[in-house]
Amino acid sequence: MKNIPLNERIIIALDVQKAEQAREIVKKCESHVTFYKVGLQLFMSSWFETVDWIVDRGHKVMLDLKFFDIPETVKLAVEQVNNRGVTFATIHGNDPIIQAAVAARGDMKLLAVTVLTSFGEEDMRAMGMTQSVEELVFYRAKRALELGCDGVVSSGLEVEKMRGDLGEKLFIVTPGIRPGANVSDSGDDQKRIVTAGMAIRNGANHVVVGRPITKADDPVKVIEVMQQDIIHSTQQL
C-alpha cells in the first residue's frame, strides 16, 4: 500500500469524445500523474490509438471496457488486450465469465466491477433486493478473488470491510472521487462518493478521478490538493 508512487495513486479518467482531447489532458497532467483510464466512450472513438499513445509515453493505462458477454467472447476480447501494455482491464459478470477472462489474460491485471458508484441503496430497494450495497460489493469481491481476479473496482465506502476481511492481496481501485469537505453532495450522477484521502485511508490502492480534474480551470492544482490529501492518509496507515 505505502510503496505505490504518489504519481500513480490517482488514475485520471479520460472520459472525452476524441483522442485529441485526451492527449491534451495527459500533456497537462503528466508532470504529476502517470496513470490514465480509457473508458468506453474514448475507446470507441480512437480504438487502441490512445492506449498505445499513453503507453508509449511511459505511462500506465486502465482499460475500463467492463467486458460482459458469453464466456468465449469475453475470453477472445481479453486476448485482444494482451501485449498492449495495459496495466488494468475491467470485467463484469458471473463465475464462467470471470473464469474465461482470467484464463485469457497475459501480464495485465483484471479488475472485477462490483457495484457501479452511480448505484445506491434506493436502487437496491427498487429492485427488490434486501441486502445492502456493502454486502453485495463484498460478496462479489470475495468471489472474484477466489476465481483469480487481481482486484476489484469499488466505491470507497465499501473498501474498509474488503481490506479488513480479504487482506492485502486484492487490488482495490475506487472511482466516485470528489474533492472538498461536502463530499456527500456531488451534484452529478455519482451516489457513493468519497474524497481521495478517505478512499486511500480506507484501504484503496488507487483512486479514479475524472471531471473534478479534467473540467477544472487548473487541473494540476486540483491534483496537488488531492495528492496532499493522499499523503496525509498514507501517513495514517
Name the 3-class secondary structure at 50: helix
Please tell me the predicted confidence (pLDDT) of residue 189. 58
**Per-block mean pLDDT, blocks of 10 residues, the chain (237 long):** 88 96 98 98 95 98 97 96 96 94 95 80 76 87 95 92 91 89 53 88 96 95 96 78
How much is the pLDDT for 237?
A: 61
* pTM for this entry: 0.91
CA–CA distance, 224 with 33 (Å, rounded to integer): 10
Q: Which pLDDT score, from 0 to 100, does residue 87 have?
A: 97
Rounded to whole angstroms, the Cα distance separating 175 from 90 reads: 13
- Write down the pLDDT at residue 137: 86
Cell of 127: 429492485
Please give the pLDDT value at position 182: 47
Domain 6-234 has CATH 3.20.20.70: yes
User: Which residues, in sequence order, are CB contacts of 105 under 8 Å at separation 6+?
Assistant: 78, 82, 89
Is residue 66 among the annotated active site residues?
A: yes
Answer yes or no: are the C-beta atoms of 14 and 42 closer than 8 Å: yes
pLDDT of 233 reads 85
The active-site residue, picked from 60, 66, 109, 221, is 66
DSSP string, 200-231: HHHT-SEEEE-HHHHTSSSHHHHHHHHHHHHH
